[in-house]
Structures are given as structure tokens and as C-alpha cells.
Amino acid sequence: MRNSTELIDPLLLLTIRLGRIVMGRMYDKLNKEDQHLMGPHLGVLSDLYQKDGVRQQDLAISSFKDKATITRSLKLLEREELVLRTADPIDKRTKRIYITPKGRKVYQAILPLGQETIAEAKAGIAEEELKTCESVLQKMYNNLSK
């Protein structure tokens, strides 16, 4: 009789496990740095660091999170003074989200921890293999984000 992991595509299993272990290591490092942000919060800061002043609903779409998760994340980030929500100047019903200077500073402190974690994951893997892996993962991401 086959066990349940034999029924799961190995790529699916590995991507789930890799995501969990990377986030686990990040949380460990964040706690050492006295940061208590969780995955959704880090994703929001990352998105805003790259493109500031986005609409709240666009942030939900780009981060693949539902509106409720984004709203909860923004409330915490706002309370910590890492982001600022303001009314859109054209459509007052819409909120624009901005990363604050404090939010930029926190993100800049977190970024090296992520880079360190990925460097640990890449250890002993040839550059050509990493390029192939990145290319394949990008294509898979593109297929699912259409």
C-alpha cells in the first residue's frame, strides 16, 4: 500500500516544505533581532518597499492574500508605524498604502536575514543548477499568476 506522500507530486511537496523551512528560519532570525512580524506582514513590507503607494486591493492581489488577511496585516503594521493608509486623492473610497521611513528601516534590517537564509539553502549547489531552478520556478509562477 502506498503512503500519502507517494500520492503527492514531489514538486508540490518540496515547494511546500521549502517554503515552511525558509519561513521558519526567518522567524527564528527575526525573533533574535526582536522583530515579531509574520509572513503576511513581511510580504506587505516587501511589496511596498518595491512599489509604494499602491491601492489596498492591489496589495491583496500582488501578495495572493485575501482582503481580510491584508486588512489585519495593515492594522498591525500601522499600529507599529511601519505603514500609512491614506484616502486616494481621486477616489476617497479607496485606500493607498505607503511604507513609512520606520518601515523602510525595518525592511532593510530584515532583508539580509532573508538573503542569509537563501544563501544557506543554496550551499553546495552549482550556479548552473540554480539558474535552471530559478528559470523553471519563474515559468511556473507565471503560469499560475495569469
Per-residue pLDDT of 125-146, as tens digits, reads 999 999 999 999 999 988 988 7
Whole-structure pTM value: 0.74
Hey, what's the cell of 15? 515547494
Per-residue pLDDT of 24-71, as tens digits, reads 888 787 766 556 677 778 888 989 999 999 998 888 887 778 888 888
Q: Which residues contact 84 (CB under 8 A, 6 or more apart)?
A: 78, 97, 98, 99, 100
Q: To which residue does cell 489596498 refer?
A: 56
Cα separation, 96 vs 59, whole angstroms: 10
Which one, of 79, 77, 85, 89, lies nearest residue 40 by Cα? 77
